[in-house]
Structure 1
Amino acid sequence: TVLPAVGVKVKREGEVFTSAGDTVLGSDDKAGIAALIEVMRTLQEKNIPYGPVEYIFTTCEEVGLMGAKILNPSSIKAKIGYALDSSGINRVVVGAPAANRITAEIKGIAAHAGLSPEKGISAIHLAARAIARLKLGRLDQESTANIGLIEGGTATNIIPESVVVHGEVRSHTLRKLEEHMQNIQDVFQDEVDNWTDPENIVDGKPSLHFKVIEDYPVMKLDKNSTVIKRVAEAALALDAELDYVVAGGGSDANIFNSFGIQCAILSTGMDKVHSTQETIKLSDMALTAELVMAILT
């Protein structure tokens, strides 16, 4: 889960679960775990026949899908799967974007900001000029970009010698992802390359180190795929109507699909996640468990 999550006190009012208000509830994603445990307990207690099934519990999903990424795909026998990790109820996520993380490090030259600013190259100023030129937020219907963290400088009276800018780009299309990434790099490089020294007194030039890390691959499931047909049949048996959606964020399902395992995301009913106002209803958790049970039987 995410912070603040130390000393969680669960409160229940009727069928609604919340935290005491100073932490998250943690239904993201303990609700999914609870549903899986309840399903298996019910199947065994009532001796209900079910087919082969594997439960995989990953760690560090919130900090980069780290647990899923280090799994050995050859140890997984299943060919299809479901990640219980979405808000709402009776929702099936069939698509999610790929994401790349970027790091742009600009090196300038330090100088005294009051005595000899002309002898310095402000790395922060160059980065600011580059960021101001970027299109951020929603780039198109399939893509987004964000600059989320800037680190640089040592003191207010020193021209900053270096700055590190961290950001990300997401897209449901690999071509667009690459194009947007390249555009960001080109803008930073252009600002560095076009820096000028009008008085010709600076001893050096600025430089750029641009790094791209693939965070997770794109996820795109066909409506006729086995994993979607299976959950549709389960919903039909329960007389439930499913809502098939495309998400804007990544999950463990992105990684499982990259392993060649068809994996859709099922909602669990969690609401207002990643906040101290997080809630979930017992009835929604029951619906999740019923859908999973129908899939298995």
Structure 2
Amino acid sequence: MDHSTINTIKNFKVADHFIRYVQIDTQSDASSATFPSTSKQLNLSKLLVEELLAIGIKDAQLDENGYVYGTIPSNTDKNVPVICFCSHVDTSPDCSGQDVKPVIHHNYQGQDLVLPDDNSVVIRYNEHKDLAEQIGNDIITASGTTLLGADDKAGVAEIMEAARLLIANPQIKHGDIKILFTPDEEIGRGVDFVNLKHLGAQFAYTMDGEKAGTIEDETFSADAAKVTIHGVSVHPGFAKNKMQSAIKIAAKIIETLPADRLSPESTSGKQGFVHPTNVSGTVEKATIDFIVRDHLTSNLQQHEAELEKIVQEVVSQYPGCTYTFDTKEQYRNMKEILDQYPQIMEIGLEAIGRAGMKAEKRSIRGGTDGSRLSFMGLPCPNVFAGGHAFHGKMEWVSIQDMEKAVKTILHIAALWEEKSN
């Protein structure tokens, strides 16, 4: 089957997969000490193994850490690098993923989408610029009370459908193709226990991007910072000139952060930021969790130094109080690795073009499993999955864009075989 024939495939089942998967609650939990962080993620992972076995992927399995592995065996005599397609099963803790009710808006014509279970939730045409490219398409949303789960169940559905089509169409020549579904990506633990030796892939693609036609080879580099403030606790009835509340000190630190720069609200493009994500505590002790982000890894230390200076200056106003400042590496910009393997991106861009789209290389103001996988020895850019407005009630995806993603996977698989000896 040549590349033009791939584009003639019809009767996609990707929407059926997607609608089935989003109704399974797989929200991860950053406060959990277990792995996966929530056992309910395994409900989807077990189903995926059953479906992979049913389409003929004989080695499909769920391991003890909640990872799903599978292999689509090579059907060519060529020596083709082993590639992997990867997506995550969990949804964001930022918005409920329980009892998701997917709604299909057929033949979209540019109208605002009022979600049925909460009419105050409106996906407005003039606020979601990518809706302009969806005229005539079929858009899936949630019902207004939950997120949808396109991040990243769209990617999961696309990989599952591509696997089904590759098994059903042996005329599409390809090498060994590995499938990997991970838990806990949304809380930064997605590849903590992945077994890359067992996976056995040389290169990979996460299907976890946004707009159709895009592929991302650059992410933030990311650290976490934790500030712990030790205050002075005194009975409030006798606290005059004695109490020094760690809670109020934490609030002052946050209030002192620059508002016109170095924050998510005031930055774009390649600009980095420092962002408080959680505050907790008592009068005696309070903690602030921060994420620190920049596309240049070397800038992280600078941002952290500025943050600690703010903490130091605020705490110094309270004699008797102390603080600790701890940082932890989370992930690094995958471009540092991917630039060493240009063929991965070249094939990704060409596959998108062959699937009938104008390919666009982008940077992510965030990270994916591919960020850490790249530094673990599995170079891994991020391909579009088609979802938009992630982590909230206005999340949406079009069926046609998911179908384009499936075609892109098929073209990537075929191109690696075509360009091998």
The answer to whether residue 333 in structure 2 is matched with residue 218 in structure 1 is yes
Kept after mapping to 1: 8 A contact 2:386/2:401: yes
Map of 1:162-181 to 2, 5 A cutoff? Answer: 162-181=285-304
> Would you say 1:261 and 2:378 are equivalent positions?
yes
2:242 pairs with 1:119: yes
Work out the CA distance in 1 between the residues paired with 2:169 and 2:250: 63
Is 1:85 paired with 2:214?
no
Aligned to 2:99: 7
The structural deviation recorded for 1:121 is: 2.2
User: Contact between 1:96 and 1:250, CA under 8 Å: does it hold in 2?
Assistant: yes
- For residues 154-233 of structure 1, the aligned pairs below 5 Å read 160-193=283-316, 195-196=318-319, 205-220=320-335, 221-222=338-339, 225-233=342-350
- Structure with max Cα Rg: 1
Partner of 1:9, secondary structure, is coil
Q: Give the aligned residue type for 2:163.
A: M
**Aligned residue pairs: how many?**
282
Residue 274 (structure 1) shift: 1.5
User: How high is the TM-score relative to the length of structure 2?
Assistant: 0.63
After TM superposition, give the deviation of residue 253 of structure 1 in Å. Answer: 0.8
CA distance in 1, matches of 2:155, 2:149: 10
Q: Does 1:285 align with 2:409?
A: no
Deviations 1:91-118 (A, max 9, x none): 1111001111111111121123343321
Structure 2, unmatched stretches of 5+, are 1-90, 107-137, 415-421
Does the alignment pair 1:148 with 2:272? no
Matches of 1:236 and 1:24 in 2, distance apart? Answer: 31
Q: Please say if residues 355 and 404 of structure 2, whose CA atoms lie closer than 8 Å, have aligned partners that are also in contact.
A: no
Give the distance between the partners of 2:408 and 2:375, measured in 1 at CA.
25
Q: Deviations over 1:152-181 (max 9, x none)?
A: 23xxxxxx2222111111011121101111
1:86–1:265 Cα contact (<8 Å) kept: yes
Percent of paired sites with the same residue: 26
Equivalent AA in structure 2 for residue 87 of structure 1: E
Question: Quick check: 1:80–1:227 contact (8 Å CA) kept in 2?
Answer: yes
- Give, as a single letter, the amino acid of the residue that structure 1 aligns with 2:368: S
Distance 1:124 1:13 in 2: 47
**Larger relative strand fraction:** 1
Tell me how far apart the structure 1 counterparts of residues 341 and 181 of structure 2 sit (CA, whole Å).
27
Q: Structure 2 matches for 1:53-132, cutoff 5 A?
A: 53-64=177-188, 66-132=189-255
Q: CA deviation at 1:239?
A: 4.3
Contact 1:80 1:226 in 2 (8 A): no
Aligned residues of 1:223 and 1:229 also touching (Cα < 8 A): no
| CA shift in 2, pair 1:235/1:88, >3 Å | closer
| CA distance 1:216–1:174, shift in 2 (3 Å) | same
**Inter-CA distance 148–279: structure 2 relative to 1 (3 Å threshold):** same
Contact 1:106 1:162 in 2 (8 A): yes
Aligned-residue offset at 1:273: 2.0
SS in 2 for 1:117: coil
SS of 1:41 mapped into structure 2: helix
SS at match of 1:57: strand
Contact 1:111–1:117 (Cα < 8 Å) also in 2: no
**CA distance 1:272–1:195, shift in 2 (3 Å):** closer
For structure 1, the 5+ residue unaligned runs are 154-159, 197-204
SS in 2 for 1:93: strand
| CA apart distance, 1:290 | 0.5
**Bigger CA drift: 287-296 or 165-174?**
165-174
One-letter amino acid of the structure 1 residue matched with residue 236 of structure 2:
A
Per the TM alignment, residue 260 of structure 1 is displaced from its structure 2 partner at its CA by: 2.2
Amino acid at match of 2:318: W
RMSD over aligned CA atoms reads: 2.1
Amino acid of the residue matched to residue 45 of structure 1? A
Residues of 2 paired with 1:194 and 1:13: CA distance? 57
Task: Report the TM-score, using the length of structure 1 for normalisation.
Answer: 0.87
Deviates more, 1:212-221 or 1:278-287: 212-221
SS, match of residue 186 in structure 1 = helix
Contact 2:250 2:286 in 1 (8 A): yes
| 8 Å Cα contact 1:142/1:173 also seen in 2 | no
Report the alpha carbon displacement of residue 139 of structure 1 after superposing the two structures with TM: 6.8
1:278 Cα offset (Å): 1.9
Q: Which moved more, 1:234-243 or 1:256-265?
A: 234-243
SS in 2 for 1:54: strand
| Shift, 1:122, TM fit | 2.5
